[in-house]
Amino acid sequence: MDSILIIDDEPQIRKLLSRMMELEGYEVFQAADCQSTLKQLKLHNPQVVLCDVFLPDGNGVDMVTTIKKLYPELEVILLTAHGNIPDGVQAIKNGAFDYITKGDDNNKIIPLISRAMTQAKKNIGDKVRTEEPQRISFDAIKGKSAGMQQAVTLARKVSATDVTVLLTGETGTGKEVFAQAIHRNSLRKENAFVAVNCAAFSRDLLESEIFGHKAGSFTGAMKDKKGLFETADNGTIFLDEIGEMAFELQAKLLRVLEAGEYIKIGDTKPTKVNVRIISATNRDLKKEIEQGNFREDLYYRLSVFQIHLPPLRERKEDIGLLAETFIQLFSKKLGKQVEGMTPEFLTALKAADWRGNIRELRNVIERSMIICDKQLTLQDLPIEIQNTRQEDYSGKNYSEFELAAMEKRHIAKVLQHTKGNKTEASRLLKIGLTTLYRKIEEYGI
């Protein structure tokens, strides 16, 4: 279960915040000071920390540095009764995920926690991928569609070279898998593969993360920090979501590409590095250049060799193969033997739009396997995917703007919320149970 540690010397605030987090489904632990915080972190290993700035035996801003040093994957959000800009700036420099004021920002805490939890999980995933880069090869890429076969062919050819590669495509299409496969088949395969998501950091934090800094370069920089470029020396660095990189920082990256060197924050001499750069984006970088958000010279240096990964909705012939691969994966992970999927299940998968692409398909298969019995059936899928299948194959299609279409989607959404409980759904919809059954039959939900 996702867990949170709340640090505050006021019991009532701890109790209130704990109740809020528990209602959101989180496991919550509490600490009243810095000393007990370290014990709780070691004992429970939470993913996110909510920390008050003023503590009996220390300061929350300084505590961020201590926590991030011991548990770098963990995310810290600072809370204070009286926010001020210097503390906020320092908190972020020390590695805090965010800094908000109590009371005025109560409505922001839940979504902020959710984003921090997502980032904490990604931090853990990135660490694993950095430590074990050799596991991914082109054999891990599943797909017989023309678009995917072309992408694999291009990736195999470029892997033997040392040129920069730009992977384009929607979120969830497998860009990082391709990056690892290219590295695995390159002459650098025995050296490090380091992945970093440029969208996950502020401008200052990203600069420190990828280039490193010298001790004393800013308040809280108590020792030299080795950047990810230095970690990836003689290997490969994967810059995901490159389109999110701050414009000022792009010049520094361009220097690495042109001269193989950069200057750490607070340093006076350049650091030499020999790194292959693979980058990825879901943005149209040419449009970003036109809008002044991305450097044209950097774009041409990054895209010496460009590979586009097609979205899943354009390679639906691969859905069955991908689904079978995920079934095998989660059978081992869940310790559950599943006898494949019914034809109706596969038909529904192929009818879905898959805006989240392969990542969304993977999540749907995992969820379905958790709730299924011996075989994956249509009823094991999320209701919205069941409904997509019925819209496409029941012969009842509605225009996007018809009232019936909107009503159908709304009823389906409520049924999903109630997990199929029609009595509860009719109560939320404020219609009679008989009326709900009639509409379910009418719309084929």
- pLDDT at res. 229: 95
The bridge status of strand 75-80 relative to strand 193-197 is unpaired
Whole-structure pTM value: 0.60
pLDDT at 425 over 90: no
Q: Which residue has the higher pLDDT, 233 or 81?
A: 233
**pLDDT, tens digit, for every residue of 156-175?**
999 999 999 999 999 999 99
User: Between 1.10.8.60, 3.40.50.1820, 3.30.200.20, 3.40.50.150, what CATH number should domain 313-443 receive?
Assistant: 1.10.8.60
Domain positions in the chain are 3-118, 132-310, 313-443
Q: Which residue has the higher pLDDT, 291 or 415?
A: 291
Which tokens go with 217? 């370069």
Instruction: Count the alpha carbons within 13 Å of 426 in the hemisphere toward its beta carbon.
Output: 12
Mean pLDDT of 403-425: 79
- pLDDT at res. 120: 85
- Do 132-310 and 313-443 share a fold? no
Q: Which positions ≥6 away from 359 have C-beta within 8 Å? A: 171, 172
**pLDDT, tens digit, for every residue of 12-45?**
888 888 888 887 778 899 999 998 998 888 888 8
Q: How confident is the model at residue 272 (pLDDT cuts 50, 70, 90)?
A: very high
Q: How confident is the model at residue 390 (pLDDT cuts 50, 70, 90)?
A: very low
pLDDT at 346 over 50: yes
- Domain 132-310 carries which CATH code? 3.40.50.300
CB 344 within 8 A of CB 377: yes
Least confident among 73-87, 105-119, 230-244, 336-350: 73-87
Q: Domain 3-118: which CATH class?
A: alpha beta
- How far is residue 63's CA from residue 151's CA, in Å, rounded to a whole number? 47
Mean pLDDT of 202-226: 83
Q: Which residue has the higher pLDDT, 336 or 156?
A: 156
- pLDDT at res. 126: 56
Q: How confident is the model at residue 394 (pLDDT cuts 50, 70, 90)?
A: very low
Identify the H or E element spanning 130. Answer: helix 106-131
Distances (CA, A) of 33 to 11, 54, 65, 232: 11, 9, 15, 38
Mean pLDDT of 247-261: 95
Q: Which positions ≥6 away from 367 have C-beta within 8 Å? A: 382
- How far is residue 4's CA from residue 109's CA, in Å, rounded to a whole number? 12
**pLDDT, tens digit, for every residue of 94-115?**
788 888 876 655 567 888 888 8
DSSP assignment of 418-434 equals TTT-HHHHHHHHTS-HH
User: For 301-304, which contacts have Cβ atoms below 8 Å and span 24 or more sequence positions?
Assistant: 301/164, 301/254, 301/257, 301/258, 302/164, 302/166, 302/242, 302/257, 302/277, 303/164, 303/166, 304/163, 304/164, 304/165, 304/166
